[in-house]
Structure 1
Amino acid sequence: MIIIVVLLLVSLLVLILWTYCQLNKGICKFSGHLVGKVVIITGANTGIGFETAKDLAQRGALVIAACRNVEKGKSAVNQIIKLSRNSDVHFMQLDLASFASIKKFVEGVMGMVSRVDILINNAGIYTSTNDKTEDGFLIGMQVNYLGPFLLTSLLLPLLRASAPSRIVNVSSMLYRFGDINFDNFENMSRFNSFTVYSTAKLFTMLMTIELDRQLQGSRVTVNCLHPGIVSTNIINNINIKIIKIVLKFFKSFYKNSWEGAQTTIYLSVSPDVEYKSGCYFKDCRVANVTPKAQNLVAARNLWDISEKLVKIK
């Protein structure tokens, strides 16, 4: 009898938690158009990126889908064109694991468009190996942080010239587990995959607040977000057994890709955040962050170090 009561109580608590999660999923309710606007979104061929690109294309924007895989990228663009009925959606190859590819991509963008209104740094990777890129950095650190840093830095002139414009950085609540020590930036092989990923997401948070400081008065806003726990390939690649078990247990609580894209879309289009910058969002609302993600000195130091590492100065 006691066991039955306990099981019923646990079931009730799970039901209450599930209901709470469903009711608190943020949804972008703004339906305005983006005709005449140019959007760049990385990782647009799958998951959150695909749903975001599709939504912004449906609003009439010229969308540049920046993807590493040519075949998958072109296929996604064809799907988006068909679903959105907007033929102004374009594939451009971009490999964030290659600084040369990023520079080539930016040159291509500048030759194609004269403005960029919205830059969405969406692409991310969770890898179980500590492989290094051609530039000498751990692939998880370069794709999740250094690559987007270089891409954003190189596109800043266009974003400034197109103001009011927006930069949206997809981070993760896992930033809380990141390491803020920059001394061994180039020697992170001692870190496990989880720490590399969470540190890269923490660096994304710090990049956001430092860039916000630099952009004061420019009418270019920059914000970051946690999309929620979304059923994507990143979750499938996690190799820490206990985390995988927990994630599998709560699978029914996950957001689908459309739900996971809502905060990104909100930050890209909503007039509610036209003047909001340097903030961290979750479920289309400003969320609290830990002190290390608000460390202005660390953010400035990280920016200076990052500029040297990607060799833009």
Structure 2
Amino acid sequence: MGPGTDIPRVSVLMAVYNNAAYLPAAIDAILAQSFTDFEFLIVDDGSTDGSGAIIDGYAARDARIRAIHQENRGFIASLNRMLGEARGDLIGRMDGDDRCTPGRIERQIAFLDAHPDYGVVGTQTCYFDNAGREWPMARPYPLDDAAFRVALTTPYTPLMNHASVLMRTDLLRAIGGYRPQFRYCEDLDLWLRLSEVTKLANLPDALTYYRQHAGQVSDRNLAVQTAWAAMAWISHEQRKAGQRDTLGAVDPLPGLDGLGAVEVITGRPGDSQRVRASVIERIEYPTSALAGPGFRVLIDYVRAGGRLPKGWKMVTRLALAGFWRQASRLATALLRD
């Protein structure tokens, strides 16, 4: 703790839901940090796999851990609860299935102390799987604020690993924490809002390890994640233009079957088609994604007059993959266009 006080410098936040298989390694990675002046808040968000007992066992052995148990409320609600209870002037993040190097937090604090105009610093990330294989990112995260803002203007450019960041608590609270309606893309929405009030950077070295395994949220919900990410961008544009953040006042956000409501909410013609186009770009490959939940978005886009240069190629791919019903519906929509 800080000199003459029991208030820690850093509050590390970890939200856990059924991570028992990976949780000990993730907790051990934080407890092994070379920087020790931290509290470690861990929410067991209604786990049913024994994660709660693992957390309690660690809390009994290390007083820095504060175990919080609750009925399942979701990832964002868990993060906001911990943010409300955090005592440190810096917020660190960690996921219950990842790892990080022992010097991670120490190096991030050194950066923020040397750069008071920066409010957020992440790290580069190395991917790994359950077989122990590791591989680097295809593209590194931007190193400084100037590079970060260039990356913001380039679609699908990686910005930050949410589980790697260290942030100034006062800034995170000042912007209202995490917004629950931006589920699956809460990190992008957060970076966009923080970029309006502070500078963001990533350290050049891979100090965090992101576990790749089947069934991750981004894999299961790619279409809706992309739609809501596009809405986060629209919200950002409205704020930057000094306009009311209309989508930020809506909870829940329009789903895949109701994207026509987007431009009604924003009052900006074309926003609905813009969101649909973003979804189509992301689900085009593989064919199983094209035929999945986002297929309705594709049909609505064409019916609303959207141009689809690859439309007949999509029909062919769907048919060859055995998605006959979707191929027929898309062909009909293209012929009527």
TM-score, normalising length: structure 2 = 0.31
- Larger strand share, 1 or 2: 2
Question: What TM-score does the superposition give when structure 1 sets the normalisation length?
Answer: 0.33
| Larger CA Rg, structure 1 vs 2 | 2
Greater RCO structure (CA 8 Å; 6+ sep): 1
